[in-house]
Structure 1
Amino acid sequence: MFQRIVTFFEQRSFGVSAYLANKLNMSTAKVRLFFIYSSFLAVGFPILFYILAAVVLDIRNYMKRIRLRVWE
């Protein structure tokens, strides 16, 4: 049951933790824990950063798809 819940959230996440983990050469679990713990300490500021990063990554992926369509 717990694994199904984890899989659900991993499939619907925006990939922010995975992107940052790859850029910083860390494990994804450590980045996720950092967001969780820091959101408790900073009263939600990391959640705003996460949402902003998700929007930026989504726009970035959209622009990559548009560029590929132009050159086809």
Structure 2
Amino acid sequence: MSFIIQLKYFFEKHGFHVSSRLADSLGMRANSVRLFFIYISFVTAGLWFGVYLTLAFWLRLKDLIRAKRTSVFDL
């Protein structure tokens, strides 16, 4: 088999087993644990996008408050 297929089987065997073991230790279904990880990844990605938008708005507001003056006589 090629190296990529062996690598794929390795990750499928060991990577997907994590949620199954976690679900068994918590007494839940593995499907619920996988959905939780999917939802939490979307929440964290959305959280940082919200922080980015807030900072962009804050910088824009700062630029509007401090108007750039070209000379001393513009006061």
TM-score, normalized by length of structure 2? 0.42
**Higher Cα radius of gyration:** 2
TM-score (norm 1): 0.43
